[in-house]
Structure 1
Amino acid sequence: MTAELTGETREHRLKRLRMRSMRRGTKEMDIILVRYTDARLEVMTEAELDAYEALLDEYDPDLYQWISGQRPAPEELRPLIAEIARVAANG
Structure 2
Amino acid sequence: MTETRETRLKRLRMRAGHRGIKEMDLILGAWAETHLADADDATLDAFEAVLAEADQDLYAWVSGQAEPPRALVPMLDRIRRDYETVRS
> TM-score of the superposition, structure 2-length normalised?
0.92
Residue of structure 2 equivalent to 1:3: none
Specify the code of the residue in structure 1 equivalent to 2:74.
P
Paired residues in the alignment total: 86
Matched, 1:26 2:21: yes
Specify the code of the residue in structure 2 equivalent to 1:76.
A
- 4+ runs deviating over 4 angstroms: none
Structure 2 residues not aligned, in runs of 5+: none
Matched, 1:81 2:84: no
Residue of structure 1 equivalent to 2:60: 65
Cα distance in 2, alignment partners of residues 88 and 39 from structure 1: 11
Match of 2:4 among 2, 9, 12: 9
RMSD over aligned Cα atoms: 0.9
Cα offset, 1:43, TM superposition: 1.1
The share of aligned pairs that are identical, in percent, is 49
Cα distance in 2, alignment partners of residues 11 and 54 from structure 1: 18
Cα offset, 1:12, TM superposition: 0.8
Structure 1 residues not aligned, in runs of 5+: 1-5
